[in-house]
Structure 1
């Protein structure tokens, strides 16, 4: 099991019962106590839990994990840290990213936003594909650099650095985005509803996404099932700004399923399931 998969399970367990022990986690995750202690230390450094003698307990961030949160005052005033988003729903995000990556073609120029789902795209881009990636995500740049692939050309947008979310933002970011016309944009968001359209939780990044979406020939929304019928605090776009929704298979309620069909049929959006 990979480190990020263990961390996701630790966060899920904390959400369910508020505390965990090193011994139990080591048994559950079939790894050593030393490995679990290292995972807990890293999660604490990212603000996701508080270590105790022999284990860990939740803190303010870990209690608010997941799309079930209703975006109250705590979240409105503080964006979710990237590290927190990155360990949620990893299997679904990977499948969605793998499906979306199949639409990337040789010599494409693409925009990848600063979402935890789109980050996984890098794992599924064929190494032989020549690709230019534009991004406001420092995490995307770092992970792409680790691949050591000479066929990837990386372009970082300018702007102020957001150390909480590993991204750049601001007027300089918007200005630099105006210089590019990507073939495709790959984005995610906080919520998708029939009433409020696409919404997001990061006010700093909404305008950057809008700018690149408007210049792209095609826009792909990568959204797992937890995004539907959830509202973020900030409007991102209407449905006519996207061409594809890439999502996971899920047994939605009749009402949610009906809303998704309405969204896609009325706006000529193709829905792709992983």
Structure 2
């Protein structure tokens, strides 16, 4: 097999599986690992994939890449709606409670479901704390919900309120449940996000809540982005839309994370 043909097949494998390893490619094509590494170097130079430790990933899977809020709202919308609906069932309607909603497209879909929220008992109340401007705006019209928006700098790309003052406010709170989004959920790396300031806020959210529920559609599973904001064991529940891979499922079970498939 010519090198060009082998490299074309490698690109196809990366595109279909998102990640390939040197050892697997060497076995598949019956070549030495050194030959595979040269192929990967050449393909990275042509911007057809990106080298990582032990192999390669699709070129668009950059650890710091991040879409705008508007772009993310159109992706995996049905799956995110199912995840939001599953998350809604975890919010009690018969007692007074507090939840913290992280900024994100799936948490915003959960907020959409709370727009018409009403208590099951006349003396029950719900306090929603959020660092997301769109979420606060949506829920402000529901008189049955108390809305508290955290202060700080608004990050334009995600409409999230971030910064030291935001973290300081979160550290003074102890909400019953925090719903947090993630850009990556990985067996070894844990929960991650591309941006440092949002990662710091997410870490504070995870640290503050009595119960932490991560909302992540299946495209985020087995992915690593730049900054880890929580280890797997820091989260109580993961709601997603498909079964995790065997490796991730084993790691989640070992960390005592409940997995809910929406």
TM-score (norm 1): 0.68
Q: Structure 1 residue 68: deviation in Å?
A: 8.2
Aligned residue among 238, 244, 255 for 1:267: 255
Q: Cα deviation per residue 1:85-142 (whole Å; 9 max; x = unaligned)?
A: 1111100000000011100013221110111111111233362133111111101111
Q: Who is 1:221 aligned against? A: 214
Q: Structure 1 residue 144: deviation in Å?
A: 1.5
Instruction: Measure, in 2, the Cα distance between the counterparts of 1:165 and 1:83.
Output: 9
Aligned residue among 85, 90, 108 for 1:119: 108
Instruction: Measure, in 1, the Cα distance between the counterparts of 2:182 and 2:239.
Output: 12
Q: Cα deviation per residue 1:235-261 (whole Å; 9 max; x = unaligned)?
A: 1110111000111135xxxxx621232
8 Å contact 2:163–2:197 — kept in the other structure?
Answer: yes
Q: Which runs of 5+ in 1 are unaligned?
A: 1-66, 251-255
Q: Who is 2:130 aligned against? A: 135
Matches within 5 A, 1:195-274: 195-249=188-242, 257-274=245-262
Q: Cα deviation per residue 1:50-99 (whole Å; 9 max; x = unaligned)?
A: xxxxxxxxxxxxxxxxx9831167x2xxx421111111110000000001
Q: 1:122 to 1:72 in 2, by over 3 A?
A: closer
Q: Cα RMSD over matched residues? A: 1.8
Instruction: Measure, in 2, the Cα distance between the counterparts of 1:162 and 1:127.
Output: 28
Matches within 5 A, 1:156-175: 156-175=149-168
- What secondary structure sits across from 1:235 in the alignment? strand
8 Å contact 1:182–1:212 — kept in the other structure?
Answer: no
Q: Which structure would you say has the larger Rg?
A: 2
- What secondary structure sits across from 2:203 in the alignment? helix
Q: Cα deviation per residue 1:208-253 (whole Å; 9 max; x = unaligned)?
A: 1111211211100111110111111111110111000111135xxx
Q: 1:68 to 1:102 in 2, by over 3 A?
A: farther
Q: Structure 1 residue 202: deviation in Å?
A: 2.2
Q: Structure 1 residue 165: deviation in Å?
A: 1.6
Q: After the TM superposition, which segments of 4 or more aligned residues of structure 1 sit over 4 Å from their partners?
A: none
Q: Which runs of 5+ in 2 are unaligned?
A: 1-57, 120-124
Q: Who is 2:67 aligned against? A: 80
Q: Who is 1:17 aligned against? A: none
